[in-house]
Amino acid sequence: MVSGTLRIGVTTPGSTRPSDFLWHRLYLRPLPHQHASFAFGKMAGAVAVTDMGLRIGVSRVRGDLGIEMMRSGSFVRPRSGAPSLSDVSQEEVLAPNGMSPLLNLPSMDADRERIEAAMHDAVVTPDTYLNEIASHLIVAGGKRLRPVLAVVGAQIFGTAASYDVVRGGVACELVHLGSLYHDDVMDEADTRRGVETVNAKWGNLQAILAGDFLLSRASEIAASLGTEVAGLLARTIGWLCEGQIEELRHTYDLARTEESYLRSIHGKTASLYGTAARIGGIAAGHDRPVIDALTEYGNAYGTVFQIVDDILDITATDAQLGKPAGHDMVEGVYTLPVLRTLSLGNTAASELAALLGSPLDVAAKDTALSIVRSNDGLASAVDTARQYVELAEAHCDDFPDSEATAALRSAPRALLDSVSVTA
């Protein structure tokens, strides 16, 4: 038998916040078929039973009922079977043990359940078709590091994170998910987090519009938290676009500068972590110097996150990544390890430059990977990531001693540890 927790929550028209959840223990026998549906009266919905649990969604004329059974300790719930390594990002390879210190806090299991509930609640509409598309990557799972960072930042004085903190973090995660919908269209990707991408399953037009829908819901949440949060999230979406455009304008560009690279990753990655941490501080009512320090911490953490992700694209194997290594070089995106290798001015740099500047076949990609892996450019990129780790740690000096602060202090180094041995 499969055991888990049955969670029932009801939202009413015009409500932005679910009712208190009722908790019961539940024992289920797997159904002969993985998916079944039901309909009665003015209610309609669907039930899915997998090895990970039970999901029931019901739409009604006057409200929405959601039922979800979760296996204890599991927050990644694919639609069917176990998650594959397809399109695994460094978000899933956080440290040698695969776990960020941010996720080890005593209250985090409960906080992550609050985050999941708020995310599902945020995308509910009367349109069941849109519901399915908008929740596609939510159901696929993820560690939710952006809302987690908001929650942990709110807890540095030892107090629990409020519901507004959770919703502020969820707004950031919805921006992230909306950008993934758009990224997958741009990359013509087929899988994300072990499931079909929205564009592969429903088409590019639906994926673009669903991504826009997630951004709109994020903006709606931010507006409910006040004009400061609303303005901040709007600016962050702009930074994300600027960062992505900066990357696109330099595809296959051998003359790309490190300044361009850092500007790009600040916009497309780091800024959203900084914003998540800042919103957590604002919603928690922290003093301005603390809020500013949380923001800078988040920016530094996000920079480490992206540099490590770019290093993993070079150092990890195809099996570890669940996709071909060197994908960035194939796509003409020259990241810090590549730029540092090109700047060496030696024979290896010349050999690498001769290969890059246009799309790579498999043989050329393997040669390019070998060059970058065996030269000082990779170690130099690790050193730069370490500098941002130290910057993030320094900002923690502005926080009081607490379990949350200790987790914040150790989290960036855990990211770096996932690659420093390999590199």
**Structure confidence by residue, pLDDT tens digits, 346-368:** 999 999 999 999 999 999 999 99
Q: 73 burial class (0-12, 13-18, 19+ CB within 10 angstroms)?
A: exposed
User: With 70 as the cut, is the pLDDT of residue 218 above it?
Assistant: yes
Q: What is the pLDDT of residue 319?
A: 75
Answer yes or no: are the C-beta atoms of 109 and 406 closer than 8 Å. Answer: no
With a CB cutoff of 8 Å and minimum separation 6, the contacts of 158 are 400, 402, 403, 404
Between 138 and 270, the higher pLDDT residue: 270
Give the pLDDT mean for 49-66.
34
Among 188, 132, 155, 147, CA closest to 327: 188
Give the pLDDT mean for 56-83.
33
Give the pLDDT mean for 134-138.
86
Read off the pLDDT of residues 234-246 as tens digits, 9 standing for 90 and up: 999 999 999 999 9
Answer yes or no: are the C-beta atoms of 330 and 365 closer than 8 Å. Answer: yes
Answer yes or no: are the C-beta atoms of 90 and 415 closer than 8 Å. Answer: yes
Q: Tell me, what DSSP letter sits at residue 225?
A: T
Among 152, 153, 148, CA closest to 170: 148
The span from the CA of 170 to the CA of 124, in Å, is 14
The span from the CA of 345 to the CA of 120, in Å, is 52
**Percent composition of the chain: helix, strand, coil (DSSP 3-state, to 5):** 60, 10, 30
Read off the pLDDT of residues 9-35 as tens digits, 9 standing for 90 and up: 433 333 333 333 322 223 232 333 333
Instruction: Quickly state the pLDDT bin for 398 (edges 50, 70, 90).
Output: very high
Between 20 and 253, the higher pLDDT residue: 253
Helix axes 288-315, 403-420, angle to 10 degrees: 20
Cα 109 to the center of its chain, rounded Å: 17
Answer yes or no: are the C-beta atoms of 415 and 309 closer than 8 Å. Answer: no
User: With 60 as the cut, is the pLDDT of residue 87 above it?
Assistant: no
With a CB cutoff of 8 Å and minimum separation 6, the contacts of 361 are none
Range scoring the smallest mean pLDDT among 44-58, 109-123, 357-371: 44-58
Phi, then psi, of 24 in degrees rounded to 5? -140, 150
> What's the mean per-residue pLDDT of the chain?
80
Q: What is the pLDDT of residue 66?
A: 38
Instruction: Quickly state the pLDDT bin for 76 (edges 50, 70, 90).
Output: very low
Number of other CB atoms surrounding residue 287 within 10 Å: 9
The span from the CA of 18 to the CA of 354, in Å, is 58
The span from the CA of 231 to the CA of 395, in Å, is 24
Answer yes or no: are the C-beta atoms of 132 and 37 closer than 8 Å. Answer: no
Instruction: Quickly state the pLDDT bin for 191 (edges 50, 70, 90).
Output: confident
Give the pLDDT mean for 43-70.
34
User: With 70 as the cut, is the pLDDT of residue 295 above it?
Assistant: yes
Amino acid at 54: L
Query: What are the angstrom distances between the C-alpha of 266 and each of 38, 144, 260, 296?
Result: 47, 19, 10, 12
Token code pair at residue 417:
């540890």
The span from the CA of 61 to the CA of 138, in Å, is 24
Answer yes or no: are the C-beta atoms of 316 and 361 closer than 8 Å. Answer: no
Q: What is the pLDDT of residue 77?
A: 31
Q: What sections of 77-162 are H helices per DSSP?
A: 108-122, 128-134, 136-140, 145-154
Read off the pLDDT of residues 148-177 as tens digits, 9 standing for 90 and up: 999 999 999 999 999 999 999 999 999 999
Measured in residues, the chain has a length of 423
Between β-strands 195-196 and 191-192, what pairing exists: parallel, antiparallel or unpaired? Answer: antiparallel
Answer yes or no: are the C-beta atoms of 58 and 65 closer than 8 Å. Answer: yes
Give the pLDDT mean for 229-256.
97
With a CB cutoff of 8 Å and minimum separation 6, the contacts of 186 are none
Between 138 and 30, the higher pLDDT residue: 138
The span from the CA of 181 to the CA of 175, in Å, is 10
Range scoring the smallest mean pLDDT among 48-52, 219-223, 258-262: 48-52
Read off the pLDDT of residues 303-313 as tens digits, 9 standing for 90 and up: 999 999 999 99
Q: What is the pLDDT of residue 56?
A: 36
Q: What is the pLDDT of residue 322?
A: 65
Q: What is the pLDDT of residue 270?
A: 98
Task: Sketch out the chain's domains with CATH numbers.
Answer: 1-74 (no CATH), 88-420 (1.10.600.10)
Answer yes or no: are the C-beta atoms of 46 and 56 closer than 8 Å. Answer: yes
Tally of helices (H runs) and strands (E runs) in the chain: 18, 8
Among 210, 204, 209, 276, CA closest to 240: 276
The span from the CA of 414 to the CA of 307, in Å, is 13
Q: 148 burial class (0-12, 13-18, 19+ CB within 10 angstroms)?
A: buried
User: With 50 as the cut, is the pLDDT of residue 276 above it?
Assistant: yes
